[in-house]
Amino acid sequence: MTEQALLPGAVEVDGSKSNSRVLLVAMGAGVLALLVAVYFLFFTGSGTDQALSSQQLPAPHSKVIKKTTHKTTAKKPAAAVVPATFTGVHSKDPFKPLLNPPPPPPPSAAPVAGGGSTAPAQVVGLSSVGFSTVTVTVNGVVYKPKVGSSFATYFKLLRLQGPSCATFLYGDESFDLCKGSTTTKQ
């Protein structure tokens, strides 16, 4: 009795085919319901323009004049009030800087021809050379620096070269002086 008896006129149907048919019918019904809902939501209206024509908005900055009639018993809906436009202080121009930089200071001295600096010339002379110090004159002022020390603001003694010469640094420029010689640095 493994075979099942069929009713007369019944046809044996494969189970997977019937499930796919049911699924197709359900999907078709869902699409049809969605189309009907879209039609009713977007393409049908109240049928009259009475709701829109009964409300008239006043023009901006105009006075609202209400007509009163004593014969009407039903209240009309209140007219919507449009807010006035903003007339306050406006924001700043976005293309202008918020802070104006101060003007550049006027030049204190005329530049030297050839694009040099305006600093005064420094006359440097080497008077004597010792074991680890030298005697240097800068614009008439005598200094006795040791090797590696700075003097006269922008000068530095770098090294001694024998008993009579020394190497100096002025800013970032190095130069050599020997005993009794002078040079001018700008």
| Residue 93, in any domain of the structure | no
Q: Which range of residues forms the domain containing residue 164?
A: 122-185
- Could you say which of 46, 65, 87 is where a domain stops? 46
| Residue 154, in any domain of the structure | yes
List the CATH number of the domain containing 145. Answer: 2.30.30
**Number of domains comprising the chain:** 2
Least confident of 13-17, 150-154, 158-162: 13-17
What's the predicted TM-score (pTM) here?
Answer: 0.38
| Residue 64, in any domain of the structure | no
Kindly indicate the confidence band of residue 1, based on its pLDDT and cuts at 50, 70 and 90. Answer: very low
| Residue 41, in any domain of the structure | yes
Q: What pLDDT, in 10s, does the model give residues 85-138?
A: 766 666 777 788 777 778 888 776 555 555 555 667 889 999 999 888 899 999
Percent of the chain's residues with pLDDT above 90:
33
User: pLDDT at position 167, please?
Assistant: 93
User: pLDDT at position 59, please?
Assistant: 59
| Residue 90, in any domain of the structure | no
Rounded Cα gap, residues 117 and 129, in angstroms: 31
| Residue 102, in any domain of the structure | no
| Residue 61, in any domain of the structure | no
Which residue shows structure tokens 């001694």? 160
| Residue 113, in any domain of the structure | no
Q: What pLDDT, in 10s, does the model give residues 38-65?
A: 888 888 765 555 545 555 655 565 555 6
User: pLDDT at position 111, please?
Assistant: 52
Average pLDDT value over all residues in the chain? 77
pLDDT of 79 above 50: yes
